[in-house]
Amino acid sequence: MTHVLHEQEISMLRSEIEMLMNERRSLLRVAGSAAVFVANLDTKKLPPDMYESAEMLSKCLNDMSEDTLREALEGVRAEPVESE
């Protein structure tokens, strides 16, 4: 009986890990898409009431680790923009 319970726990953990990995991939695609959007954003054409939202998104992206951001950009097949 203990063996069966152990196998069920392992199966549940595998399912949970798979679900979390799928969620991570999805979030990385969102972050990658947001990074591409911000990189291509023409701030001169941005309505003033959108500045705060754009700044918030930009800050969130800047707070990501370089490796995670690179992975996010790879998830949407975008090339990272070199900083000057």
pLDDT digits (tens, 9 = 90+) for 34-51: 999 999 989 899 999 999
Both tokens of residue 60? 């969130």
C-alpha distances (whole Å) from 9 to each of 18, 56, 59 are 14, 41, 40
Residue 80 is predicted with a pLDDT of 61
- For the chain, the domains span 2-75
Predicted TM-score of the model (pTM): 0.78
The Cα–Cα gap between 74 and 43 comes to 25
pLDDT by 10s per residue, the chain, length 84: 688 889 999 999 999 999 999 999 999 999 999 999 999 989 899 999 999 999 999 999 999 999 999 999 999 987 766 654
